[in-house]
Amino acid sequence: MSKQFEVAVVGAGPAGYHAAIRAAQLGLKTVCIDRWVDASGQAVLGGTCLNVGCIPSKALLDTSHKFSQAQSEFEDLGIMTQGLALDVAQMQRHKDLIVQNLTKGVAGLLKSNGVEVVTGTATLQAGKILQVTDAADQVSTVAAEHIILAPGSSPVDIPACARDDKMIVDSTGALAFDTVPKTLGVIGAGVIGLELGSVWSRLGAKVVLLEAVPTFLPTADKQVSKEALKLFKKQGLDIRLGAKVTGSKIKKSGVEVTYEDGDGTQKLTVDRLIVAVGRQAETKDLIASDAGVVVDDRGLIEVNEVCETTCVGVYAVGDAVRGAMLAHKGMEEGVMVAERIAGGKPQVNYETVPWVIYTHPEIAWVGATEAELSAAETAFKVGVFPLAASGRAMASNETAGLIKVIADAATDRVLGVHMIGAHCSELIAEAVIAMEFGASAEDLGLTMFAHPTLSEGLHEAALAVSGHAIHIAHRKRR
């Protein structure tokens, strides 16, 4: 006999656990099924984000940033750091502790909201039945009126660089190095490659990033990506664009990587190699062929704008569906679906998904780039504020970067905000709120910002759209 629920969620990553908690808050009898277990076989919730994604990477980014600042910037401020040393084991223990606290926290939240948690691998059968296989190969079934699939994603492997999980690793392996490699190769200069490359570079590794695409960060604003490339190169990251990796060999001396670039075939030998070429939806064996749910040729579950699949009563959210593979996008989808099941009509505004790259300086943006607007033949105006002109940035010795506001030429409505600089992961929220509320650049200009803050940079960039920024020189109007 199947256990019967009103809502069954597959996956306890950010998309799934948000959906389950909101469904339970709305009074629906809810179960959340996840197969993630630790080395001792204990169930661990939180998915990629908490275990091997957002949180552990940010723990290592923050620690390595503090170390690098102490090493190269503190003396300028009069802070002497003789005897500074790094304890990689302690750094990793700190990261693991945060992960443990947060994953236990998710288990606690599910429990306190009355969500039943089942550990095992779920497959969707016809008739909205989930077959769940546990670690001992025991099979049980769960039936639900509404099923939310949130199986997430996993790193893409490439045949040219088969992982051995020691010398050639994916992002998960790169979060767990127990020593700092002297030399490190990273295949892929996207978000994950840049973040992980930065961590180990700051701790002393000589890092080479091999990126097949000839353009650096092609989806970011051009001015921002140009500034980022300049700053990252200055930090010592060796970023080689248009470098297509064709093979690798594990040797005693390290990993020998072969790649093709404009000058022909090149070889590079590194102590360790991270493959960070993207992620794929984790949908293999998830859905029986007669379940009525269509999966596209990239493995993404087909959904409409409110995350309904092709089978009535089955929804899919998070990394396993179209759109950004970002935790917050999945969280919002999870909550939206739970609320729609309970009779509400919310929608996710995909126009205001914030993007962040947690390098130093950080890169963040929301909305359209100048290139996208030009391609769509939308007339726009731009205001840019360099952080070098910000008093607060100077006071904190963090003057690299800029904030750009793009507004519609006719209506002045903010269409995009792009930034590179310290704390941009936090600053971008102000731009998201402005765009969510349909603000114009003038609205932002008329808003009072605390002084001295980095946020004033957004204020000034908005004022610059109409040539009214106070702290940058505009050509005098007659």
451 is catalytic: yes
Q: Closer to ligand FAD by CB, 227 or 319: give it.
A: 319
Separation CA 400–CA 398 (nearest Å): 6
In 150-188, DSSP assigns E strands to 153-155, 168-169, 183-187
Tell me the residue type at 38: D
Which one, of 43, 36, 8, 41, lies nearest residue 23 by Cα? 8
Residue 247 beta carbon to ligand FAD: minimum distance, rounded to whole angstroms: 25
- Tokens 């999870």 belong to 334
- Tokens 């039945």 belong to 129
Alpha carbon 319 to chain centroid distance?
A: 11
Rg for the chain (alpha carbons), in Å?
24
Q: Closer to ligand FAD by CB, 274 or 458: give it.
A: 274
Separation CA 101–CA 159 (nearest Å): 36
Residue 193 beta carbon to ligand FAD: minimum distance, rounded to whole angstroms: 10
Q: Which of 451, 459, 468, 474 is catalytic?
A: 451
Q: Which helix (H) or strand (E) holds 3?
A: strand 3-10
Q: Closer to ligand FAD by CB, 21 or 192: give it.
A: 192
Separation CA 8–CA 288 (nearest Å): 17
301 DSSP assignment:
B
Structure tokens at 468: 């009214």
Q: Closer to ligand FAD by CB, 152 or 421: give it.
A: 152
Alpha carbon 336 to chain centroid distance?
A: 20
Contact 418, 220 (CB under 8 A): yes
Residue 196 beta carbon to ligand FAD: minimum distance, rounded to whole angstroms: 7
Residue 145 beta carbon to ligand FAD: minimum distance, rounded to whole angstroms: 19
Contact 334, 150 (CB under 8 A): yes
Q: Closer to ligand FAD by CB, 142 or 373: give it.
A: 142
435, 439, 442, 444: CA torsion to nearest 10 = -60
Q: Which residues pair with 210 in a beta bridge?
A: 187, 240
Q: Closer to ligand FAD by CB, 13 or 185: give it.
A: 13
Residue 201 beta carbon to ligand FAD: minimum distance, rounded to whole angstroms: 16
- Tokens 């060796």 belong to 238
Q: Closer to ligand FAD by CB, 95 or 404: give it.
A: 95
- How many CB atoms within 10 Å of residue 61? 19
Q: Closer to ligand FAD by CB, 11 or 421: give it.
A: 11
Residue 438 beta carbon to ligand FAD: minimum distance, rounded to whole angstroms: 24
Contact 194, 301 (CB under 8 A): no
Enumerate binding residues for ligand FAD (CB under 6 A). 10-16, 33-36, 47-49, 52-54, 57, 121-122, 150-153, 171, 192, 282, 286, 318-319, 325-328, 330, 358
Which backbone phi and psi does 280 adopt, to 5 degrees?
Answer: -125, 150
Pairing state of beta strands 314-316 and 168-169? Answer: unpaired
Separation CA 239–CA 254 (nearest Å): 20
**Checking phi first, is residue 240 left (phi over 0); if not, alpha (psi -120 to 50) or beta?**
beta
Residue 329 beta carbon to ligand FAD: minimum distance, rounded to whole angstroms: 7
Contact 276, 187 (CB under 8 A): yes
Residue 274 beta carbon to ligand FAD: minimum distance, rounded to whole angstroms: 10
Alpha carbon 424 to chain centroid distance?
A: 14
Q: Closer to ligand FAD by CB, 59 or 180: give it.
A: 59
Residues with catalytic function? 451
